Amino acid sequence: MTRSSLVALDLGQHEFRESVDELALLATSAGAEVIGTFVSKKRSPDSATFIGSGKVQEILAHCEAEDVELIIFNHSLSPAQQRNLEKALGRRVIDRTGLILDIFAIRARSFEGKLQVELAQLQYMASRLVRGNAELYGQQGGIGMRGPGETQLETDRRLIGVKVKQLKTRLEKLQKQRQTQRRQRERRGQFTVAIVGYTNAGKSTLFNCIASDKAYAADQLFATLDTTTRRVWLAPKVDMALSDTVGFIRDLSHSLVDAFKATLESAVHADLLLHVVDASSLVRHSQIAEVNKVLQEIEAGDVPQVIIWNKIDACERSVEVERDGNGKILSVAVSARYGLGIAELRECLTELAGNFYAQSRGADTQSDELQWA
């Protein structure tokens, strides 16, 4: 394991402590051994090192005493800040985005998932290519100094640009294949449901319960990166296409959201979202808000949702189906780990699927309008 220390700057953001705890979980998920955590409070980050020269010296002393190999920041660092910190500390420095990308690289299993991770990594790397000194050569003139017409920096950028273009082309082909599959489901008029939620809320465990499948599920952040879709029979002649998706997290950069937009298409085009929430989490409401923010970014904010309060076994909550005054299903409380409430959830899905198929056959009744308004 890589001996690592964490650095977080309190800039007055909401739920700062929870964000730091989350960084520790992310670091552990990436295979880091967290030796220490540095937390300080400032009005604004330092433009050169983000944390200021005094804190840099404090961290350097700690790193030398504890033989720390890696410093992980709970923020997005500019390329210049990262470079300045590595020079001052004499160690590798990564930011929150770089850490999440590393976890993505570990977790990606499907061909498409690996392509998306590689694309995101290359785009992240391209922004951090900087001009060196003696290491780079170029059109400086003189004998032995006539380069091939471009500096090494320009060569690296060009090669990355070519690779990015290739990856985008391959991902576009895979996207077209998914669009074809989706059109086939639409022609069949199939009810489509996507499971979404904050990372480690129990989405894959719930997916396995409903679909009787064996999708990878673990008590760790970003256990699932690849979308899995299964046809699930709810009742005789009543089925649905159920998809498990990548989890969301706070402060997810736009570049990471963009990289996984293709994977999240199942949520954009779903007829219903099962929004899984860890009912035992003290910050569950802010996690709901973070998920909804990302759904808006990928243009899935208007897809109907049912909240699934998961892990009720951890907070002594009972199985419950909540409806509004018109009978519309708002939420279902379950424990996917122990199978509590799964029968009730399947009954709700059967009801919603029945309403969907009735609508698709043109049965535009008042009750249908209430369910799918």
Please name the residues in contact with 91: beta carbons below 8 A apart, sequence gap of 6 or more.
Answer: 63, 68, 69, 70, 71
202 is in an annotated binding site: yes
222 is in an annotated binding site: yes
74 is in an annotated binding site: no
Q: For residue 59, give the 3-state DSSP assignment.
A: helix
244 is in an annotated binding site: yes
Q: Residues of 167-185 as b/e, b for ≥16 C-beta within 10 angstroms?
A: beeebeebeeebeeebeeb
One-letter amino acid of 306: V
301 is in an annotated binding site: no
- Dihedral sign (CA 279, 283, 285, 290): negative
Radius of gyration, alpha carbons of the chain: 24
198 is in an annotated binding site: yes
312 is in an annotated binding site: yes
342 is in an annotated binding site: no
180 is in an annotated binding site: no
151 is in an annotated binding site: no
4 is in an annotated binding site: no
2 is in an annotated binding site: no
354 is in an annotated binding site: no
Q: Exposure of 54 by Cβ count < 10 A (0-12 exposed, 13-18 middle, 19+ buried)?
A: exposed
237 is in an annotated binding site: no
**Other Cβ atoms closer than 10 A to 44:** 8
197 is in an annotated binding site: yes
292 is in an annotated binding site: no
278 is in an annotated binding site: no
203 is in an annotated binding site: yes
Nearest 5°: CA angle at 295, between 293 and 300?
A: 140
199 is in an annotated binding site: yes
111 is in an annotated binding site: no
169 is in an annotated binding site: no
164 is in an annotated binding site: no
Please name the residues in contact with 225: beta carbons below 8 A apart, sequence gap of 6 or more.
Answer: 104, 107, 108, 109, 113, 117, 246, 260, 263
Smallest Cα–Cα separation from 219: which of 162, 278, 179, 136? 278
**Other Cβ atoms closer than 10 A to 345:** 23
Q: Exposure of 119 by Cβ count < 10 A (0-12 exposed, 13-18 middle, 19+ buried)?
A: buried
Annotated binding residues, as ranges? Answer: 197-204, 222-226, 244-247, 310-313, 335-337
Annotated binding residues for Mg(2+), as ranges? Answer: 204, 224
Annotated binding residues for GTP, as ranges? Answer: 197-204, 222-226, 244-247, 310-313, 335-337
